Structure 1
């Protein structure tokens, strides 16, 4: 074998070296690629780790809790809030844990995750409320989301309670939108306006619940000012569905969205109470005025009666002394008549201003009616024809004559007012019917005015459309008929509806205009009839007139008292001391007693009288003293006399119509005379007291 060719070896070697170089390059390139792939994998891994961490943070930031299970119910991932949502979970929640491991210490609340088919609410033992929602994943796993909705549930609970309170309110509450239409209102609001269902008002304008004049007031005065103030409150007249109205208090509050909250309160009862309070206040003020008038009347009565006493005393002397055929005799008689009228006028004023009882006597109602009509005829309009019908010989009652005149006067004036300026007829009738106990049958009790006043009963009248009221409870045995004096005052005026009739006896109630009536007339009639144990029947028809019938018990077998002539009056010769600071009064008393045969002396003060009596007490048989005097009063003088001269009788004279009990009768005074004193009554009283010593 020949030796190797160097050229060949070189060629081979070069080829081998070329192959090795190419291989080295390829390996180098692959190494570079592997390094790049490694770096990329590391970067991808870091990025994936970063994304996982970001996803973890995102999941942990979800309110409540989130957990993902695979198809075998193993935990894939869970948020940090999951364990906080269910603090009873066993240990930390880690991937790979099974649902059964998580819930072994819990109740069925979480186990419902296996079966529930949609969102639901869970209430935990600590009071929190969770909204639970679960969904299946594409690979058969399950994701569950837990949201704590406790604040929302609390707000919802509070809202529900507030809504319940709104619905339970007796005030009407409504919410209005920008256009002023109802978007919400409670049932009370609907009922206040006559709607049974609040839905009937939804979408309607709130102004439709008011009349046109009130809408104008709201749009011109209230709503423009609401924008600036934000709130308005005032009183309006609301309208119901049937057209009736009621007083309401309205509160409007503007909302940020341009709407309003409306609160309506029915103040009809409050207004009625306020009106009643105002009426009572007016009555109280009126009563104060009347009390002041009464005090004034009592204050001037003494002086006025002193004047009357002198005038009537001297007039009586003229009547006695003058020849009846002389013209002056008639003048004196007219003076006496005028004095009697003045005396009764003062007594009426005093009776009105006082509540004490008044003295009663036998009164012939026929004569009392004639006297009253004689005074009334001059004051009644000429268009009213006054008719009298008397079907009795003598209608005698035991009563106070002044109060009987007051009854007739008030009823006649009321009848004339009812007739007014139109032509009409006023009839006064007197008869004496027999009554049994059936007068008020069929009538309902309408009011009890008080323990001292007789009750009233209302019902339909005898004619269709009329109303009838019976006032009184007569002590009548149905088996025995009793006779009464009936005085009827019948007018052809406007009549009264039943609602007016029910209130006509209330003090201060009147249908007349301001300044035309006080509302005391019928109330006074009611009180007088009650005090006399009588009764009253009223029947009225609107447009046709009214009939007032007064029933008073008669005096069986009574004989009318006739005035005693001075010549036939009781006489005497005793010595009497008169004490009065008015010379005019003491002089007329002295002359009257002297004409009856008595010896009389006068003193102008109590101190002077005491001095006279102490000088020679045995010569005096009686003292007649005035009550109101400067210094010592008549009562004080009587007490001193009773102490120093126990057997000396004392008669007290008063110009204020004081009752005997108030003036001390039975203790220091033997009798009380009210000025002006009738001569016959003076003579009879003096003689009776002297004979009783």
Structure 2
């Protein structure tokens, strides 16, 4: 390359030189070999004979370019050669044989492509823009370059649609359109609606018709389907122009790729919706817990009086059967309330030996009334399966959640919900597929449906929090993530299997334990053998009256108060007279824990039993013994359970006094 500083002073072109420059020259570039072919006219534009430039190479072509234009020109040609654009339109300055600079316009397009869509050959033309001296200070050239730079820096694609419907792009197309534009080398203009999403084509067509009928400006958004079947969102701002006689001339517009913006808005809406659903779920849980509390308060006298009535008569009494039915109905209601508390997460549980087959029966009793007649239930339950160590309420939640998902999958088409339970001894093949499971026997709980199934992408994310394929009304996206957490917490694993059109199957593996839960045996209330005075506090009149009768029946002296404030005042008068305090948790004026704390300050040795219909103490962070509470009883409480608990607390307190 020659040193540009040694060039002679530029001068004006002669008439002969200008005549030669008026001719359009042609060139062709073999991209693979690098060979550059030019004709006599192309050489004459710069004042040369063809043989003077032979052989012409890309390096020599670059040497002819003005230093200020060289980088831009080379970059444009490289983009064309790489297939990133299909057209070349380049205004630049080249050195004439006389040493001056002339303004030329090079145009080019791709002629052939290889099997990979890469350009093989590029052809084009060159013509002189003007015959005046072309130095770096020419305002017209400078303005053109600045305008081109400005256009290329706009984050959109400027276009024009003429009266024939042909579209011309004045700036680089969006990235997802470059491949399509490059392959349409003969006509780089997108003249059809084929790329527009079928659901949006009518809107785009109607907008075009309006623009061609009257001068106006519009902004629309629509979807484009790329060659890779990806969806991209386009924002299209355009204005129609008309001639003085009212004839349509063109539509000038600019396209913006707003896919990322639309995705961000949709993600924000999705997150806001999930937060609202989570808050709604929390509100429903709180409401369910409150309703369960009220139901337990109602059940307390029903169950208590029925139990006392049943215990006061012989089995051959005609009323015995009636009281038995009342007891059974009250106990069923008690279990239902317990399930409501489980859903509201208002009932704490502790791991224990859980026979899953029993939990399955309880869960199906709850679910069966809500299933339509088009869905049948099949059970394959091995009743000899050993127990697992888990929280019974959480296992109940696992079964209900998985069955509910199966129900939703078959809600419209109907089908079969299958529940299986089997104890399995892991072999080598199973151990390999369950690497994180303990090396022991385990039970496999299988819940399957015959619904539409899921694709692989859905299965990959099925246990993610807030991921759901259900509608807003039916899915929170939390159910399966909670199930996954419960199963893992119990030392097990859960797997989902599905294929579209063939339903879904969830397999839950839980390690078994040798201990079995002992069957419950009815407890008989034991009459008190020791004298004790008890202070009872509850704001429910029915509960107060029933507790008075039950305590007297057990042989205790009881004083009852309906107000915690009045109970505190009475206790303050003579704390030593009471051997035990039993208080409800939820009361106006003061909660049971607050009352227990105040009583404990007056007499730290007094034992306290806290009763609640809510299922748990409100503040889980503070242990019960902080308030001086010895036991927690859940309403409704049976007479035998009450007698046993009171007797235990009194014996423990007497034992501590003697030590």
1:428-439 to 2 correspondences below 5 Å: 428-435=419-426
1:642 paired to 2:627 = no
How many angstroms apart in 1 are the aligned matches of 2:616 and 2:566?
Answer: 25
- 1:96-138 alpha-carbon deviations (Å, 9 max, x no partner): xxxxxxxxxx9863498999995789999xxxx999999xxxx
Q: Which residue of structure 1 lines up, in the alignment, with residue 493 of structure 2?
A: 535
How many angstroms apart in 2 are the aligned matches of 1:213 and 1:429?
Answer: 45
1:685 paired to 2:635 = no
Compared CA separation, residues 572 and 113, structure 1 to 2 (3 A): same
Equivalences, count? 542
Q: Which residue of structure 1 lines up, in the alignment, with residue 218 of structure 2?
A: 232
Deviation at 1:195? 0.7
Q: Which residue of structure 1 lines up, in the alignment, with residue 624 of structure 2?
A: 665
1:75-474 to 2 correspondences below 5 Å: 109-110=8-9, 118=17, 149=134, 153-160=138-145, 162-163=147-148, 166=151, 171-189=156-174, 191-192=176-177, 194-195=179-180, 197=182, 199-202=185-188, 205=191, 207=193, 209-210=195-196, 214-225=200-211, 230-241=216-227, 245-254=231-240, 258-324=249-315, 328-354=319-345, 358-420=349-411, 424-435=415-426, 474=436
How many angstroms apart in 2 are the aligned matches of 1:327 and 1:418?
Answer: 50
How many angstroms apart in 1 are the aligned matches of 2:294 and 2:328?
Answer: 20
How many angstroms apart in 2 are the aligned matches of 1:247 and 1:108?
Answer: 52
Contact 1:130–1:149 at 8 Å: present in 2 too? no
How many angstroms apart in 2 are the aligned matches of 1:107 and 1:499?
Answer: 67
How many angstroms apart in 1 are the aligned matches of 2:7 and 2:482?
Answer: 87
Deviation at 1:623? 0.2
Compared CA separation, residues 239 and 201, structure 1 to 2 (3 A): farther
- Match of 2:452, SS state, is coil
Compared CA separation, residues 623 and 203, structure 1 to 2 (3 A): closer
Contact 1:190–1:196 at 8 Å: present in 2 too? no
Deviation at 1:354? 4.3
Contact 2:211–2:251 at 8 Å: present in 1 too? no
Contact 2:352–2:392 at 8 Å: present in 1 too? yes
Gaps of 5+ in 1: 1-105, 135-144, 443-469
Q: Which residue of structure 1 lines up, in the alignment, with residue 82 of structure 2?
A: none
- Match of 2:565, SS state, is helix
- Match of 2:509, SS state, is strand
- Match of 1:522, SS state, is helix
| Match for residue 634 of structure 2 among 661, 669, 674 | 674
- Match of 2:451, SS state, is coil
How many angstroms apart in 1 are the aligned matches of 2:291 and 2:96?
Answer: 97
| Match for residue 552 of structure 1 among 463, 487, 510 | 510
Deviation at 1:214? 4.2
Compared CA separation, residues 276 and 357, structure 1 to 2 (3 A): farther
Which stretch has the larger CA shift, 272-281 or 347-356? 347-356
1:504 paired to 2:462 = yes
Contact 1:231–1:253 at 8 Å: present in 2 too? yes
Deviation at 1:642? 0.9
Contact 2:575–2:602 at 8 Å: present in 1 too? no
What do you get for the CA RMSD once the two structures are aligned? 4.2
Q: Which residue of structure 2 lines up, in the alignment, with residue 633 of structure 1?
A: 591
Contact 1:432–1:485 at 8 Å: present in 2 too? yes
1:624 paired to 2:582 = yes
1:511-660 to 2 correspondences below 5 Å: 511-512=469-470, 515=473, 518-560=476-518, 562-567=520-525, 573-659=531-617
How many angstroms apart in 2 are the aligned matches of 1:628 and 1:276?
Answer: 42
- 1:607-631 alpha-carbon deviations (Å, 9 max, x no partner): 3323443444333211011122232
Which stretch has the larger CA shift, 594-603 or 355-364? 355-364
Contact 2:181–2:189 at 8 Å: present in 1 too? no
Deviation at 1:570? 8.7
Compared CA separation, residues 664 and 237, structure 1 to 2 (3 A): same
Provide TM-score, normalisation by structure 1: 0.67
How many angstroms apart in 2 are the aligned matches of 1:271 and 1:523?
Answer: 28
Compared CA separation, residues 152 and 566, structure 1 to 2 (3 A): same
How many angstroms apart in 1 are the aligned matches of 2:315 and 2:642?
Answer: 24
Contact 1:172–1:190 at 8 Å: present in 2 too? no
Which stretch has the larger CA shift, 416-425 or 110-119? 110-119
How many angstroms apart in 1 are the aligned matches of 2:199 and 2:516?
Answer: 69
How many angstroms apart in 2 are the aligned matches of 1:504 and 1:570?
Answer: 57
Deviation at 1:482? 1.0
Deviation at 1:653? 1.8
How many angstroms apart in 2 are the aligned matches of 1:227 and 1:688?
Answer: 93
How many angstroms apart in 2 are the aligned matches of 1:417 and 1:113?
Answer: 84
Contact 2:585–2:611 at 8 Å: present in 1 too? yes
